[in-house]
Structure 1
Amino acid sequence: MRTALRLTPLALCIGLSLSAHAQSMPDDFSLCPVTDAIPPFHDAPANGLHPGDRATQPTDIEGDTLSGTDVAPQFEGNVALNRGDQFLGADKLVYDSEKQTYVADGNIRYQDTSMRLIAKHAQGNQGTDEHEIDDLKYQLVSRRGNGESDRIELHGAQGELHGSTYSTCDPNDRRWELRAKRIDVDSAEGMAVAHNAVLHIGKVPVLYVPWFMFPIDDRRRTGLLFPSLASSSRNGIDYRQPIYLNLAPNYDMTLHPRIMTDRGEMLGGEFRYLNLRGRGTFTAAYMPHDDLRADEPGYGSRGHFSYNAFQNLSRNWQARANLIHISDTRYFEDFNNSINGIAMYNAYSIASLNGRGHGWSAIFSADHNQLADYTLTERSLPFDRVPRAAASWEGAWGKWFAAGVDGEAVRFHKNEAVVDPVTRQTLASGGNRLDIKPWISMPLEGASWFLRPTLAYRYTTYQVDQELVRLAGVEKSPTRAVPIASVDAGLYFDRAASLGGRSYLQTLEPRVFYLYSPYRDQSRFPVFDTSALTFSWGQLFRDNRYSGADRQADANQLTLALTTRLLRESDGRERLSASIGQIRYFDDSLVTLPRELPIEQGRSAWVADASWAPSDRWTVGASYQWNPKLREKDLVSLRGRYLMPNDGIVNLTYRFRRDVSEQADFSFLYPVNDSWSVVGRHYYSIMDSKPLEQILGVQWDSCCIAIRLVGRRYVENREGNLSRGILLEIELKGLGSAGQDTRKTLRRSILGYNRGDLYLVPPEQTTGQPPTDPDTQL
């Protein structure tokens, strides 16, 4: 028999949605039992229909026996009612089509794509859209949420749930559970209000909330987010209470009131917007008084403002902005809880119009640098580029050649570019620069060889401000025109090899790179944005050892390099990679930056790099540079990684650069068993004989609850003082977490903490400009 009985109200919004929260990382239920709180019903058909198809689907009712009348049919024995993705099973179902009432009794089972429930009794009136279900248990299919309810009463879109519980734990092992005496549900608005709710950890009640409102669907709602609580020697007790404001479907705001017992109150905020072609985020923070700097002059109210956005203008063009302003030069140091804040010496802002197409790219931009290090002056900052235009093109030229051109036009400006020796005043200055570099290449290659001769011509001209000419000793309108010729060639040999009973492919890849560029006197050229590149493997094959266009190195040099690899044939994994190379300088390289020595004729440092994976769990590597002139090492880098079972990892790194730094970094995640693990890091400066960051913590994980307790010591300021802090996070899976975001700290500090990838998570950088040596600036 077929009837028009509607099943939609029986979905009930049963989710109870006490799990209303937003999570940045998915919950890990790998430790949960395989069994379900309510197993799937064997008599429910698997039709694969979507909930959106319900309105167009008929309702079918079946049963072992049919009695009653046509107006009030009565089904008994294995009653099955199906509509779309919904299934309702019962021992007995009576439906009165005139009164539009129904009564279902005995072994009631309901299932759809999102949930399953069992109950003893259900009744309702389809005409008035009123329903009541007694003594039910439910399970959310996708989120593992499950619980019970004594009674549910529905009146259209309004509903009341009496004596309800919610948890993501197994019903036989309730590590946590949320209980509420009554929950008022408004499915039309997507909101619910819980009355007299109590959170239980085990059997112990830990939190009582007499009244709170929460969403029951994915629609964003104004309300409180989970707070954050931390403690450190610098801030004292640090409490944050985010407040979310749902202003419109395409924009919202989050306020961040914050109290630091040793420093004062602070208010932060974030405004986000989204449109069809782009998105943007405004962030700001304001602190009227900071006790940390109360005794120091120049530190009144503190805060920052930033704006990050992009807007697609067409298929080829996009506008971008990354702007920031800080209140003082110690802001990053005082409001960043890691050593990254100390490394930031400038706040870098840029607005740009970017274009890209087949074989071409272009950018029109303006940028600005703000000092963020109280130990420096504005003279140490890079020049602002206001504005900058750059473009490049390359493509095929005939059958044998490839050609291209790179061009840039910039206006440089800095408020404290030079110092007047008489008045001792700092003066603003700058200049204009035009740089054009056309090139042509003849790329020849085969299966086991390549040969790429290239000829380029670089033309650069300046118009320098008079203050810079007078006080810095540079020319007013210097011009440089220099040809650059290079030949890059290499061979590729391979052979089959066997190691440990496995087949490998071993390669041998010799490479030579010859570079010639005649000397042009550039000693009186300004230095706006150029610095010497760190000597490395990549520099062996570059046509200029400087970044930026203010210097083009003269060269008559030959690079000889050799690389070998060992590739496992079964999956292509690289087991061994080793490279070594050196530059032979046939003449002195005389072009230098201020206070830089020329490169003498002879040989460069040897550059060697090797990486070896003796097994799928072990990876070790090393980089080494040996200076034959000084007969000592310039750089040493050793690295090792071991992957343990159960997502454990150990990292060990040693870094040495002559006259710059010597550091050791040891980090690990050690799983004691399936539930307990230990994490730690010891990041130490050997040159300074002091730790840079130390972490030690324990983690306990179960099916539905996780606790992380982490202790930290880290350098908090440029004086080298150490700050101490304790981070505690309690995560109720499927509900949310309370406390500090410990995973964010551990992902930054421990390479491979989340074994989904083994890439170091970049720290939250507020500056985009790499540090520049103040001695090379005017």
Structure 2
Amino acid sequence: MRTSFRLLPLSLCIALALPAYGQDDGYGDDDWALCPVGDAVPAFADAPAPTGTPQQRIEQPTDIEGDQLEGQQDENTIVQGNVALSRGDQFLGTDRLTFNSETGQYVAEGSVRYSDSGMRIVAERAEGNQQDDSHTITDLRYQLTERRGNGGAERIELKGEQGALVGSTYSTCAPSERAWELRANRIDIDTEKGMGVARNATLRIGKVPVLYVPWFMFPIDDRRRTGLLYPAVSLSGRNGFDWKQPIYLNLAPNYDATVTPRIMTERGASIGGEFRWLYPKGEGTVSGTWMPKDKLPENEPFRYLNNPITGLPIPGATLPTDNRGQFSLGATHYFNKFWRARASLGWVSDTHYLEDFSNSLYGVSTYSIGSTLGVYGQGRHWSASFTADRYQLTDYTLTEASLPFDRLPRLFAQWNRPLNDWLHAGIDAEAVRFRHDVFDAGSRLDVKPFVEMPLEGGSWFLRPRLAYRYTAYKLEDGLATSIGNSLAQRYAATSGTTPTPELIAQLTNAGPTRSLPISSIDAGLFFDRHTQIRGDNYLQTLEPRLFYLRVPYENQDGLPLFDTAPMTFSWGQLFRDNRYTGPDRQSDANQLTTALTTRLINEDDGRERLAASIGQIRYFDDTRVIVPGETPVERGKSAWIADVSVAPSDRWQINASYQWDPKFRREDLAALRARYLIGDAGVVNVGYRYRRDLLEQADFSFLYPINPNWSVVGRYYYSLLDKKELETIAGVQWESCCIAVRLVGRRYLRNRTGDLNNSIQLEVELKGLGSAGQKTERVLRRAILGYDRDDLYLVPPSPLRRDTVDPTLDSNP
């Protein structure tokens, strides 16, 4: 039996009432860490598959089915036996439905069941009036299928856009294991305004009440509203008691702001802010922090007034106590599908700022902040940019002379397209104006056209390539004179005679140029065969590769060094046409790279179980182009480079790299990274890194599950070269599907003087509601690769990098 009927509005407010106390952590339906959805209210077997979205309900008809229909004109209509109403994603089932079409009065009795795309409800009785839109639901239980919340209520009263929940509860725990629960005597709901008011709300851990709120207003939908966000609270020896209270300002639909006052009892007060905007052709964020008075420099004056290496006082050094802060801007504007403008700007008040306001090694190892402003374009066969770069020093152990040259501005263009099936042509071009606060600078034009023939088949490839590099400079007088004097001194040292003024003038060139042809041939073969190992079928490949590079020598001592340095020798360098990072030097070359790679690919699942590569460069001539301080590359063989990646099982992953120099019979690099997965949640990481005369480090981290709830975590990160502890973590955590408690002890390097900071962090997380204490999970995710088994990269970014970073680093040191 089917008839037309308006579905009873039972969904209204329950799904948004109690869970709105807490934060929506974005847990999805497949998140294994949360309790199963069907614990509190299992899915209804007689409910049809939902169709459409909640926004489409009003446009869809309602169908009613039942075993028996009774009724007369101007009297009640009664539907009995397996009553089912459905509309779009909504379903209502009950044993008996009584409805009066004249008065609009209805009563649903016996096994009342309701479901939609976000929730399920079971109740004993529902009654109300459709005409005046008033409804009462009694003795109910509910399950939120998106936020994983569940609970119950003695009664729900609805009147138009207004509603109230009486005697309600909420939790993300299973009903049989109520680790935590929210209870409220009454919650008043206003769906038109999207707000709710809870009265006499209590948070219980187990059976113990730990928080009581007599009155609390909260949002019940996704509309943004001005108000307080969750504070961040911590305690440390450096900051003392640390409270950050974000205040959200909903200014307009397309822009908003957050103001964050902060109080540190050992240092003082600060205020931060963030402003975000969004419009059809772009977006952006600007943020900053200002601290009018910081007591930390006064508490540790030796670190600001003395050189950390020599221990001697720094002439003219002062304590950076007043007006400390940072600023950052990130914005993008799209002109059309080809062109966009982008800004990434950063600034800090002093060279100690990143170290003082960061709790990781990045604040210690970073020496500069880079700011970039530019216009970028990209098409099918081309790309171009017009940018300006500026650097700020953030390391108090260095001087301004350590900063890279600013590029004000830089114009770059690249074009590459096939002329036909066997011939490609292209050009890379760059024009830069360099500037520096300490050194004289100049301008550079670099143009590199090329042609290549990408010949290849199913089991081979051959790619001959011919390029021509032209580089021209226009130097400031001071830089040209400095280079000329350097060349004159070199002439005097090699010839034994004093250069004449005429020769010095000849060596001083304000507009030097360089032009060189670059030719290369890259060739390779692919062999494969089927094999079996321990009964499994594999495809084994053998991939020999040759790369010949020829670049004639040209003396480049008269060229400046703006942004060019030797590259670190690695596998990728075996196949590059220049061993320098920039165009100020083009290495001469007459060399041949030989390399061999083999792989084992499981034919059942396609997984690569083994990849091993080895390669070496044979230099037929001495390399004569070098930069100051670089050791020349002599005729002969380079170091052997070997890389191996092996996965003997689904739980093991091992990577190793090794470089051996046969000429000096020494190892230049050794790295080992191994990961083992324990059960469904555990992981063990072991790492060793060695680079001659630069670093030697050992890294061990783990998460070991003792049982489904208890686990221990740890990390030991040590520099063997410096004989210095970099970071140590030890902790224990208890976790269920709805609650987690983490206790972590941490010892880490906190400044460039080598001081270590000790901290103990405790966090209690009520999943689906929020957390109290310090954010230990963020620390553990960074320190233990694979902590959540969603990040299984073997090698983290090296904490010894001295590179530019986002100046908004601001955590709880």
Provide the TM-score with structure 1 as the length reference.
0.93
Counterpart-to-counterpart distance in 2, 1:184 and 1:216: 11
Would the aligned equivalents of 1:748 and 1:763 in 2 still touch at CA under 8 Å? no
Q: How many residues align?
A: 760
Distance 1:392 1:768, change over 3 A: farther
Find 1:293's aligned residue among 297, 318, 340.
297
Residue 727 of structure 1 contacts residue 742 of structure 1 at CA under 8 Å; is this kept in 2? yes
Structure 1 residue 463: Cα displacement: 0.5
Name the structure 2 match of 1:391.
Answer: 413
**1:194-221, Cα deviation, whole Å (9 max, x unpaired):** 1121111111111112222211122222
**Residue in structure 2 matching 1:52, options 50, 55, 63:** 55
Deviation by residue 1:504-542 (Cα, 9 ceiling, x = unmatched): 222222222221111111112111111110011111111
Match for 1:158: what amino acid? Answer: Q
* Structure 1 residue 51, shift from structure 2 partner: 2.7
Please name the residue that 1:431 is paired with: 442
User: 1:71 aligned to 2:74?
Assistant: yes
- Structure 2 residue aligned with 1:739: 773
1:574 alignment partner in structure 2: 608
1:164 alignment partner in structure 2: 168
Matches within 5 A, 1:212-251: 212-251=216-255
Equivalent residue in structure 1 for 2:644, among 610, 624, 643 = 610
From 459, 470, 485, the counterpart of 1:459: 470
**Cα pair 1:74 1:92 within 8 Å, conserved:** no
Amino acid at match of 1:343: S
Aligned position for 1:23: 25
Q: Percent identity?
A: 59
Q: Report the counterpart of residue 560 of structure 1 in structure 2.
A: 594
Counterparts of 2:457 and 2:140 in 1: how far apart (Å)?
A: 73
Partner Cα distance (1:467, 1:8) in 2? 85
For the residues of structure 1 that align with 2:706 and 2:562, how far apart are their CA atoms? 55
Matched, 1:378 2:393: no
Displacement of 1:413 in angstroms is: 0.4
1:37 aligns to what?
40
Of the structure 1 ranges 742-751 and 520-529, higher mean CA displacement relative to structure 2 is found in 742-751
Would the aligned equivalents of 1:175 and 1:202 in 2 still touch at CA under 8 Å? yes
Q: Does 1:261 align with 2:262?
A: no
Alignment equivalent of 1:124, drawn from 108, 128, 137: 128
CA displacement 1:255-274 (0-9 Å, x = unmatched): 22222232222222222222
Is residue 2:435 matched to residue 1:413?
yes
Deviation string 1:599-645 (CA, Å, 9 cap, x unpaired) is 22222212122222222211222211122332211111112111221
- Cα 1:608–1:765 change in 2 (3 A) is closer
Counterpart of 1:10 in 2: which secondary structure?
coil
Q: How does 1:503-652 map to 2 (within 5 A)?
A: 503-652=537-686
Q: What corresponds to 1:716 in structure 2?
A: 750
Q: Note closer, same or farther for the CA distance 1:76–1:452 as it changes in structure 2 (3 Å cut).
A: closer
Residue in 2 aligned with 1:774? Answer: none
Q: How much has 1:478 moved relative to structure 2?
A: 0.8
Alignment-derived partner of residue 329 in structure 2: 307
Equivalents in 2 of 1:599, 1:649: separation in Å?
A: 43
**Mapped contact 1:54–1:83 kept (Cα < 8 A):** no
Does the 8 Å CA contact 1:63/1:75 hold for their aligned counterparts?
Answer: no
SS of residue paired to 1:416: coil
Distance across 2 between alignment mates of 1:41 and 1:567: 46
Structure 2: distance between partners of 1:113 and 1:508: 53
- Structure 2: which 5+ runs fail to align? 305-317, 485-507, 807-813
65 and 617 in structure 1: CA distance in 2 versus 1, 3 angstrom threshold = closer
Distance 1:593 1:612 in 2: 38
Q: Distance in 2 between matches of 1:567 and 1:93?
A: 63
- Checking the alignment, whether the CA contact within 8 Å between 1:348 and 1:766 is kept in structure 2 is no
Write the distance in 1 (CA, Å) between the matches of 2:716 and 2:603.
Answer: 38
Residue number in structure 2 paired with 1:115: 119
Larger deviation, residues 520-529 vs 52-61: 52-61
Secondary structure, counterpart of 1:333 in structure 2:
helix
Corresponding letter in the other structure for 1:556: N
* Alpha-carbon separation, structure 2, partners of 1:40 and 1:220: 32
Q: Is the 8 A contact 2:194 2:221 kept in 1?
A: yes
**Residue type of the alignment partner of 2:458:** A
With 193-202 and 146-155 compared, the bigger mean Cα shift is at 146-155
Pick which of 744-753 and 69-78 moved more. 69-78
1:775 maps to: none
Quick one: distance in 1 between partners of 2:723 and 2:513?
Answer: 48
Higher mean C-alpha deviation, range 308-317 or range 104-113: 104-113
Shift of 1:277: 2.7
CA contact (8 A) 1:576 1:611 kept: yes
Q: 1:308–1:323: 8 Å Cα contact kept in structure 2?
A: yes
1:327 Cα shift? 0.8
Which amino acid is 2:540 matched to? Q
Distance 1:456 1:114, change over 3 A: same
Q: CA deviation at 1:61?
A: 4.6
CA contact (8 A) 2:37 2:143 kept: no
CA contact (8 A) 1:390 1:409 kept: yes
Which residue in the other structure is 1:276 paired with? Answer: 280
- Counterpart CA distance in 2 for 1:715 and 1:254 is 31
Contact 2:5 2:64 in 1 (8 A): no
- Give 1:689 deviation, angstroms: 1.0
Residues 22/465 of structure 1: CA separation in 2 closer, same or farther (3 Å cut): farther
**1:423 match:** none
- CA deviation profile, 1:245-302 (whole Å, cap 9, x unmatched): 2222222222222222322222222222222232211121111121111345241221
Q: TM-score, normalised by structure 2?
A: 0.89
Q: Secondary structure at the match of 1:19?
A: helix
Q: SS where residue 35 of structure 2 aligns?
A: coil
Distance 1:31 1:276 in 2: 37
Query: For the residues of structure 2 that align with 1:63 and 1:568, how far apart are their CA atoms?
Result: 56
SS of 1:531's partner is coil
